[in-house]
């Protein structure tokens, strides 16, 4: 049970749990491939190698943004569930309800975009969704908001069930995060890191969803009663509080996979330390208040909020990232790490996370933001850490599970090719965005100036490589999940 144990006693999923878990993973993998293809179609269009019209481009951009962020939330929530359930008693109904609400929300979003013509982006700028100049209807915008609300409610339900389970075991959320050991006392070395991380996510993301629940309903009211005029700056703050928090939470749910799995491949326990607890506590506060870095160019924004945005940007990602990177490096140093797909993916994830937050921190600095704001530097940063950081964390868990079910940790021959394809593709793709950003290429533009096109073409090639790698991963994972006989346990030392 403890995190000092290398092989938790029982990771086996009972039949129903397994069914729902498989549903999550297969849905997520399929959605990732689909959304990547949409992404590729956009990149090819910017590169002038394909020609989807601007109207469809912005619809696809909206779908890709909302779809990718949602899917990343879905899959990392499955990571959190998979490991947290070993320490506290989670109810399957909450996990399943979240899935159902997510699918309903996704359906609402798809209809609003491709039938209703909503193309106001995943983080929209009030009041543009309801002023589409005749392209999309007000109903479409409303349906998009409702889709978000459904997904938010699903997440909240899951978090509440998880909070109840954690409190039942640890007393309250503060103790679950180990706050009692911040200033002294003997730390219980077996306190699960999965619980610390999950608790932080529950607190921070619930607040973000609350902000979303307020602002989305207000936008709905405004859609049908335009006389109720909202303060655009307040709306923007709340939208980013919600949106930034939601996507940020994925990395903190995903990293649980690293904490749980790495020791099994290094053969070395990965203990909880006071520094670790401090890092998570500080990040919990910072992550909640870091969102103003999206509003550095809003001149009406109170100055103190902009300053918080900059100062906290420098601090928010660092604590957890530093303890994790340090923890991972010391855990694998001279450990004779077994290089299998899950461990390769975990090392990649920590690198992707590390490298991906550097451009973010730079851009969170007001003087840099003056230059880089709304350039492709921004998609450069987040594609870097999402493609090479968070997604590999989730993939590591998936590979681990299929390896466990097949009772074999051997990589398939194709893995030797697919992972390098994915990594090289990811680097080329993300660096093309960053380079374009440095050259002041605007983000969210369907048509690019001729001078910008070489970046787009390089990015397109990178994207094709990523998708090839991802297609192979998907086939392996889906086949691995579907093929296994039901009575095989998933806790095998080989990982």
Partner 1 sequence: MISVRQRSVLIAAVIFAILLLPPVMHALQARMAAQMLVQIPLLIAVGYLLRAAVPQRLAAAIAAWNLNGLSGLLLATFAAAFWMLPRSLDAAASEPLFTLAKFVSVPLLIGLPMGLSWPCMNFVVRGIFLLELIAMFFRLGWLYLISPIRLCNNYLLDDQQRTGQYMLMIGGAILLWVAIKLLWGHFDLSPDSQQVARLHTHDPHRPADR
Residues that bind partner 1 (CB under 8 A): 94, 156-157, 160-161, 163-164, 167-168, 171-174, 179, 203, 206, 210, 213-214, 217-218, 221, 227-231
Q: Which does 387 bind (CB under 5 to 8 A by kind): partner 1, ligand HEM, none?
A: ligand HEM
In whole angstroms, how close is the CB of 301 to partner 1 at the nearest point? 18
Task: State yes or no: residue 346 binds ligand HEM (CB under 6 A).
Answer: no
Among residues 174 and 267, whose Cβ is nearest to partner 1? 174
Name the residue with tokens 């392209």.
135
Q: Is 31 in the site for ligand HEM (CB under 6 A)?
A: no
Determine, following the binding rule CB under 6 A, whether residue 253 of this chain makes contact with ligand HEM. no
Residues 394, 400, 406, 409: what is their CA dihedral angle, to the nearest 10 degrees? 140
Which of residues 271, 443, 454, 471 is near ligand HEM by CB under 6 A? 443
Q: In whole angstroms, how close is the CB of 231 to partner 1 at the nearest point?
A: 7
HSE-CB at 326 with a 13 A cutoff on CA atoms is 12
Least separation in angstroms between CB 191 and ligand HEM: 30
Q: How far is CA 129 from CA 104, 133, 139, in A?
A: 21, 10, 10
The separation between CA 70 and the C-alpha centre of its own chain, rounded to angstroms, equals: 8
* Binding residues for ligand HEM restricted to 64-123, rule: CB under 6 A: 64-65, 68-69, 72, 121-122
Cα distances (angstroms) measured from residue 439 to each of 60, 78, 226, 375, 380: 25, 38, 40, 9, 12
Instruction: Name which position in 28, 39, 251, 327 contacts ligand HEM (CB under 6 A).
Output: 39
CB of 154 to ligand HEM, least distance (A): 18
Q: Minimum distance between the CB of residue 76 and ligand HEM, rounded to whole angstroms?
A: 10
Nearer to partner 1, 107 or 160 (CB): 160
DSSP string across 106-168: HHHHHIIIIIT---S-SS--TTGGG--TTSS-HHHHHHHHHHHHHHHHHHHHHHHHHHHHHHH
Residues in 115-154 at the binding interface with ligand HEM, rule: CB under 6 A:
121-122
Cα distances (angstroms) measured from residue 461 to each of 63, 93, 421? 22, 43, 11
Q: Name the residue among 188, 205, 294 with its Cα closest to residue 242.
A: 205
d(CA 110, CA 315): 37
Nearer to ligand HEM, 327 or 379 (CB): 379
**Shortest Cβ distance from residue 172 to partner 1 (Å)?**
6
d(CA 240, CA 145) in angstroms, rounded, equals 14
Query: Which of partner 1, ligand HEM, none binds 171 (CB below 5-8 Å, type-dependent)?
Result: partner 1
Minimum gap (Å) between residue 429 Cβ and partner 1: 39
For residue 428, give the nearest of 373, 384, 468, 375 by alpha carbon: 384
Nearer to partner 1, 221 or 275 (CB): 221
380 scored as a contact of ligand HEM (CB under 6 A): no
CB 1, min distance to partner 1, A: 16
Expressed in percent and rounded to 5, the helix, strand and coil fractions of the chain are 75, 0, 25
Minimum Å gap between C-beta 124 and ligand HEM is 9
Q: How far, in Å, CA of 34 to CA of 306, rounded?
A: 37
Size of the site for ligand HEM (CB under 6 A): 24
From the list partner 1, ligand HEM, none, pick the one residue 56 interacts with, judged by a Cβ distance below 5 to 8 Å according to partner type.
none
Nearer to ligand HEM by Cβ, of 376 and 409: the residue is: 376
List phi, psi (to 5°) of 375: -100, 175
Q: Print the binding letters for residues 357-376 with ligand HEM: x by CB under 6 A, - otherwise.
A: -------------------x
From residue 449 to residue 478, the character string flagging contacts with ligand HEM as x (rule: CB under 6 A) and all else as - is --------------x--xx-----------
Distance CA 44, CA 51 (A): 8
Are 81 and 254 contacting, i.e. CB atoms less than 8 angstroms apart? no
**Burial (CB count <10 Å: 0-12, 13-18, 19+), residue 126:** buried
Q: Which helix (H) or strand (E) holds 481?
A: helix 453-483
Q: Which residues bind ligand HEM (CB under 6 A)?
A: 36, 39-40, 42-43, 61, 64-65, 68-69, 72, 121-122, 376, 379, 383, 386-387, 391, 443-444, 463, 466-467
């Amino acid at each position: 049970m403890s995190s000092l144990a290398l092989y938790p006693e029982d990771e086996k999923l009972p039949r129903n749990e397994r069914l729902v878990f498989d549903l999550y993973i297969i849905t997520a993998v399929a959605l990732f491939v689909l959304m990547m293809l949409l992404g590729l179609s956009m990149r090819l269009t910017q590169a002038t190698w394909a020609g989807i019209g601007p109207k469809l481009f912005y619809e696809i951009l909206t779908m890709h943004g909302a779809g990718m962020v949602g899917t990343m939330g879905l899959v990392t929530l499955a990571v959190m569930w998979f490991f947290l359930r070993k320490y506290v008693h989670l109810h399957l109904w909450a996990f399943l309800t979240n899935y159902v609400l997510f699918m309903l929300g996704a359906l609402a979003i798809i209809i609003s975009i491709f039938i209703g013509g909503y193309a106001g982006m995943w983080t929209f700028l009030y009041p543009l969704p309801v002023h589409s100049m005749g392209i999309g209807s007000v109903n479409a915008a409303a349906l998009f908001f409702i889709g978000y609300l459904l997904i938010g409610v699903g997440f909240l339900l899951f978090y509440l069930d998880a909070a109840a389970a954690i409190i039942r075991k640890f007393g309250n959320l503060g103790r679950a995060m180990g706050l009692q050991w911040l200033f002294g006392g003997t730390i219980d070395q077996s306190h699960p890191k999965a619980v610390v991380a999950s608790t932080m996510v529950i607190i921070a993301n619930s607040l973000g969803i609350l902000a979303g629940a307020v602002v989305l309903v207000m936008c709905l009211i405004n859609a049908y009663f335009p006389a109720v005029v909202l303060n655009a700056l307040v709306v923007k703050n709340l939208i980013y509080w919600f949106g930034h928090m939601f996507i940020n939470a994925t990395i903190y749910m995903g990293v649980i996979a690293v904490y749980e799995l790495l020791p099994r491949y290094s053969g070395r326990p990965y203990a909880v330390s006071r520094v670790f607890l401090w890092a998570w506590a500080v990040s919990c506060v910072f992550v909640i208040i870091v969102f103003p870095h999206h509003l550095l160019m809003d001149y009406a924004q109170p100055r103190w909020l902009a300053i918080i945005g900059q100062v906290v940007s420098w601090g928010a990602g660092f604590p957890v990232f530093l303890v994790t990177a340090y923890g991972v490096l010391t855990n694998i140093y001279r450990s004779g790490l077994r290089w299998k797909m899950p461990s390769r993916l975990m090392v990649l994830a920590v690198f992707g996370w590390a490298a991906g937050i550097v451009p973010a921190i730079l851009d969170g600095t007001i003087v840099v933001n003056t230059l880089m704001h709304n350039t492709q530097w921004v998609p450069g940063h987040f594609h870097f850490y999402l493609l090479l950081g968070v997604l590999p964390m989730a993939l590591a868990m998936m590979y681990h599970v299929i390896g466990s079910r097949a009772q074999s940790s051997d990589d398939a021959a194709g893995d030797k090719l697919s992972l390098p394809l994915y990594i090289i593709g990811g680097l080329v793709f993300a660096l093309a965005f960053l380079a374009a950003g440095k050259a002041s290429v605007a983000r969210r533009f369907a048509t690019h100036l001729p001078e910008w096109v070489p970046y787009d073409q390089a990015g397109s090639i990178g994207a094709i490589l990523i998708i090839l790698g991802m297609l192979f991963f998907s086939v392996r994972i889906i086949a691995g999940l579907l093929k296994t006989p039901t009575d095989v346990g998933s806790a095998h030392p080989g990982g």
